[in-house]
Amino acid sequence: MKHLLTATLVLASIIGFAQERLPQERLPQVPKGAWKSQEPTGSASTLIVTDNYMAIASYSIGNKYFERAEGGPFTMNGDQMTYTPEFNSADSLKIGIPIVFTVTVKDDILTLKYEEAMVWMRVDDATSAPMAGAWHITEKADDQGTLVKIHQEGTRKTLKLLSATRFQWFAIDPAVKGFYATGGGTYTAKDGKYTENIQFFSKNNNRVGSSLKFDHKLENGRWDHSGKSSDGKPVHEIWEKIQ
């Protein structure tokens, strides 16, 4: 009985020590949210991670310069993240080839280690943000203003990733390694209004620095927003969260 009591006390001590360490060095998990780093070229990079999809963009706000973007789905197994790019604006040969990262999160620093270590600083934590997630467009208003279902051909798709404060959208076709456009920046969603502040846009850098405001409603995983696009045309779209 004495030995059993001693073992129990030792186990309790170990558990208590582990619990004390968790806030400083968390166990491996999906690093949901937005992250940033500085590129050797001088441009900034942002990473948005949702439940099972992530996207990276490198750009310069001051110079209105878009450098590159990539993204795709991932799975987690312990501290191992298997990421499979669905698009890569700089190197299409990397599309579809899985990469296994070792993930470490400590003191709001994310390290993704493959051949080299990529270090990211936290921008926001999207664990409880209502808009955070991966979205795909499902309906769009026609010339008469009527919402109609969108049927994109083949494997072409348009997705938008949101953290608690950042967004990035992209139009791609993984089957043909097609990359067509991307854009992103910061956003706010409050009192029925959704505002995007554009920090990069691969097709037109003159849009960098502008803001787009929409009427906004989120209901049962459906995101209804309407307003005007970056070229001033009326927009009414439905986006649905990818589970």
State the total domains in the chain: 2
CA dihedral 97, 100, 104, 109 (to 10 degrees): -20
Among 103, 125, 147, the domain-final residue is: 125
Among 125, 158, 186, the domain-final residue is: 125
Alpha-carbon separation of residue 30 from 25, 40, 172, 177, 189 (angstroms): 14, 26, 24, 26, 24
Q: Determine contact, residues 125/132, Cβ cutoff 8 Å.
A: no
Same structural domain for residues 66 and 106? Answer: yes
pLDDT tens sequence across 43-63? 889 999 999 999 999 999 889
Same structural domain for residues 146 and 226? Answer: yes
Strand spans (E) along the chain: 33-38, 44-49, 53-60, 65-77, 80-83, 87-88, 99-106, 109-113, 117-125, 133-141, 147-149, 157-162, 166-173, 178-190, 193-201, 211-219, 222-228, 234-241
pLDDT averaged over consecutive 10-residue blocks of the chain (243 residues)? 40 40 52 89 89 95 93 96 97 97 95 93 92 93 86 83 97 96 96 95 92 91 88 89 86
pLDDT tens sequence across 28-39? 578 999 999 976
The answer to the question of residue 28 being in a domain is: no
Same structural domain for residues 83 and 139? Answer: no
The answer to the question of residue 45 being in a domain is: yes
What is the pLDDT, as a whole number, of residue 22?
A: 40
Same structural domain for residues 142 and 237? Answer: yes
Q: Residue 69 maps to which CATH number?
A: 2.40.128.490
- The token duo for 141 is 């208003």
Residue with tokens 């197994």, as numbered in its chain: 77
Gap between the Cα atoms of 206 and 210, Å rounded = 9
The answer to the question of residue 1 being in a domain is: no
What is the pLDDT, as a whole number, of residue 152?
A: 66
The answer to the question of residue 18 being in a domain is: no
What is the pLDDT, as a whole number, of residue 8?
A: 39
Q: Determine contact, residues 169/178, Cβ cutoff 8 Å.
A: no
Among 125, 144, 170, the domain-final residue is: 125
What is the pLDDT, as a whole number, of residue 185?
A: 97
The answer to the question of residue 22 being in a domain is: no
What is the pLDDT, as a whole number, of residue 19?
A: 42
Gap between the Cα atoms of 54 and 63, Å rounded = 25
DSSP 29-67: ----EEEEEE-TTS-EEEEEE-SSEEEEEEEETTTTEEE
Q: Residue 179 maps to which CATH number?
A: 2.40.128.20
Same structural domain for residues 116 and 142? Answer: no
223: containing domain: 133-241
What is the pLDDT, as a whole number, of residue 128?
A: 85
pLDDT tens sequence across 88-121? 999 999 999 999 999 999 999 999 999 889 999 9
What is the pLDDT, as a whole number, of residue 3?
A: 44
The answer to the question of residue 203 being in a domain is: yes
The answer to the question of residue 14 being in a domain is: no
The answer to the question of residue 158 being in a domain is: yes
